[in-house]
A and B are shown apart, each in its own frame.
Chain A
Amino acid sequence: MNIVPLVIYACAFVGYSLHFARRTPISARLATTMLAAAMLAHTFIIGMRTMQVGQVPVFDATSAMSMFVWLLAVAYLYTEVTTDERAMGVFILPLILALQAIPAFRTDAVVHPAVLRGPLFGIHVSSLLFAYASFALACVIGITYVLLFKEIKTKHLGVFYARLPSLQVLDQMNQRAIVVGWVFLTIGLIAGVVFAVEANVPAMLSLDDPKILVALICWLVYSFELFAARRIGWAGRRAAYLSALGFAIVLLNFVPISYLTSSHKF
């Protein structure tokens, strides 16, 4: 079923590419409408799955991925509607497509051990997913910042100069996405620790678990980014590079660690 939103996301990508090339009001409306349609279809699929399994499907890696893509689409659409900037759609959609391809072609068995229950666990998972979606957005905004920065710095004013918002706006958007992501990452980690303590399962708190280790590294990278941007003037391009690095670590946690190791499975 996850293939339906994938196909509509692909259509939205075509719409955003068309809009990036032509910048007409019709292509703008078309792109946003397609993305909204894809998101609605995705909401419907997640809703169906929720009814099927009796809770929000975030317990297996594939369902969590689907939820992450949905959150990313929501976060991007919110940014687009509030800023009226569509040029970044062409950068965010490939990421959405690549990640949605996993749930579209793979279904994990519903595993929901009794130990993983309760509101704290829900807060832990949903906060982390939302944090990662914010970091994904920050990464894409950071990449567009670097592209525009290079055009202005090297005096070759071209494609990005004509299409992207100003460096200042991109920097602010990047910083906001990181702040939101960092807050949710912190909440998610604290909720995880409290949950593990309450559940009294020592393995849940072990730094030998790569997922926990990588999440902590993530937290350190983004904490440093926030500190550096405010205290040592690492705004702009350096902040953009750091947000890309941070998201690369997030992805590491998401794809290889989830699928290739038995990490964080209880």
Chain B
Amino acid sequence: MRLLLVGISHRTAPVDLRERVDFQARGVELALRTLAARKPGGTANEIALLSTCNRAELYMACEDVGTARSELVSFISAFHDVDASAIEPHVYDVTDVEAARHLFRVAAGLDSLVVGEPQILGQVKEAHSASRQADTAGPLLNRLFHACFAVGKRVRTETNLGSGAVSVSYAAVNLAKKIFGGLEGRNVVVLGAGEMGKLTAQHMKSQGVRQVTIVSRTIAHAARTAEAIGGATAARWEDMDAALSASDIVITATGAATPVLTKARVESVMRPRRGRPLFIIDIAVPRDVEPAAGEIEQVFLYNIDDLQASVRENLARRSSEVARAESIVEEELEKFSRWLRSRGVIPTVVALRQSFESIRRAEIDRLEFKLSGLPPDARDEARARVDEITHLLVEKLLLMPTEQLKSLADAETASMYAEAITRVFGLDEAEQKGESRVEPFRPKSRPSGRQR
């Protein structure tokens, strides 16, 4: 059984194609069931589907990777009603350990558009859970996904790959959280009803702030923006100071040519607040807040350049963590590929055990004749003892070869060993003969013995 990955991602396909092959729109489970019903590769295989806005990847355990690949591409084409020739140039496919490496890197956030973004691990977990729901998961994919969860978890806890905000609005939200603990129950005031202010306010709203108040020189504009955000309120320009006094976070995004919030004005706003901190985010250019206002105790003033500088620092820090994350991927990949290799020798191990077991049974059958002379109680006991001893003997004889085979370092050596064992023990011949491959010695006068 081999592992195959077929997919498209932001690295290979433009956004319009990624939109057209979005499996989430029609449901990942439905896609999995539809695909399983087609029996790609001629058998009912293990399949998982990872679908995010940046990638659509099918992971499959199959025998014939060549056939499976073309069937998977034709499935993607048929399921989304997109011409296969439009998809084909953007599809990548990798197999076995390389496929595992790819998924591990994806789960670690190393293959994401923004390196280290945190959502991907959750999406990978959803992909696995969908394949379990659709009954398309199996031992190989279960092992693969659990291994990749371990990679994602280790990268998250042992490196700083995902630390620090990498967009201006996230940087602002992170700062606010570092000042206030959480954003729940906080009041946000947005000065200016333009697009920038609206977007930032929407972002704050999605983070669970209690109230968003839009203050604009034209109350109608403020009301429109408040309505567009949903659940926000509008306030008059004249009521700005009252709104500021009640706020925790102020976002300034007006088009004013001179500062709207002078140091003196912020000081007067701070007075009735009794030391309650105020976080001012000035995203306007030219700036809306006098830089000196940042000197006031308990006022934290950040402008667009400060936030961008923090984003740049975080991006630099993340890129310096990539090597550490990659080494975690390689460590976990080594464990997984060891397991994968050990699966390659499983048929030989099984055949060897079957062969030994049939020899054991044949010899026990042969012994039955000799035991028949004993009284029934003694016969049963002797039979049980012999069975136990021979079973233990076979187990002990097989323990070392089994472990040695499973621990072989590379696939080529494993296959060589498997071949040698097959020949030495005549496993191929035994298989052809089936159950009767080792005939016990039966004396002509042997009475019908009890088969165990």
Contacts and interface: CB of A to CB of B under 8 A. Distances in A.
Residue in B175, B275, B309 whose Cβ sees the most chain A Cβ within 10 Å = B275
B181 A168 contact: yes
B452 interface: no
Contact of B179 (A23, A162, A166, A237): A166
B275 A233 contact: yes
A234 interface: yes
10 contacts: A152-B175, A152-B178, A166-B180, A233-B273, A233-B274, A236-B275, A236-B297, A236-B298, A237-B297, A237-B298
Given A166-B179, A168-B179, A157 B274 contact: no
B277 A167 contact: yes
Contacts of B309: 155
A157 B309 CA distance: 10
A152 B300 contact: yes
Nearest to A229: B275
Interface string A160-182: 01100111110000000000000
Interface residues of A, number: 24
Given A152-B179, A155-B309, A162-B164, 9 more contacts: A155-B302, A157-B313, A162-B163, A166-B178, A167-B178, A167-B181, A167-B277, A233-B276, A236-B277
Contacts of A236: 275, 277, 297-298
A12 interface: no
A24 B297 CA distance: 35
Residue in B178, B274, B276 whose Cβ sees the most chain A Cβ within 10 Å = B178
A153 B300 contact: yes
B81 to A, nearest CB: 47
Consensus secondary structure, chain A interface: helix
A157 B314 CA distance: 10
Nearest to A234: B275
Contacts of B294: 153
A264 B243 CA distance: 56
Contacts of A238: 275, 297
A232 interface: yes
A169 B181 contact: yes
Interface in A208-266: 229, 231-238
B158 interface: yes
Interface string A132-153: 0000000000000000100011
A24 B157 contact: yes
Contacts of B158: 24
A235 B278 CA distance: 13
A166 B181 contact: yes
Contacts of B164: 162
A157 B310 contact: yes
A168 B180 contact: yes
A25 interface: yes
A236 B277 CA distance: 8
A155 B275 contact: no
Closest 6 CB pairs of A and B: A233-B275, A233-B274, A168-B181, A166-B181, A235-B275, A155-B306
Interface string B149-181: 000000001101001100000000001011111
B155 to A, nearest CB: 12
Contact of B177 (A166, A234, A237): A166
Interface string A182-203: 0000000000000000000000
Nearest to A228: B275
Nearest to B176: A166
B118 to A, nearest CB: 15
Interface in B288-302: 294, 297-298, 300, 302
Contacts of A25: 157
Nearest to B295: A153
A169 B178 CA distance: 9
A24 B298 CA distance: 33
B188 to A, nearest CB: 16
A229 B313 CA distance: 35
Nearest to B314: A157
Contacts of A233: 273-276
Contacts of A24: 157-158
A261 B45 CA distance: 85
Contacts of B274: 231-233, 235
Residue in A153, A157, A229, A232 whose Cβ sees the most chain B Cβ within 10 Å = A157
Interface string B64-105: 000000000000000000000000000000000000000000
Interface in B303-332: 306, 309-310, 313
A137 B273 CA distance: 27
Contacts of A162: 160, 163-164
Interface string B219-260: 000000000000000000000000000000000000000000
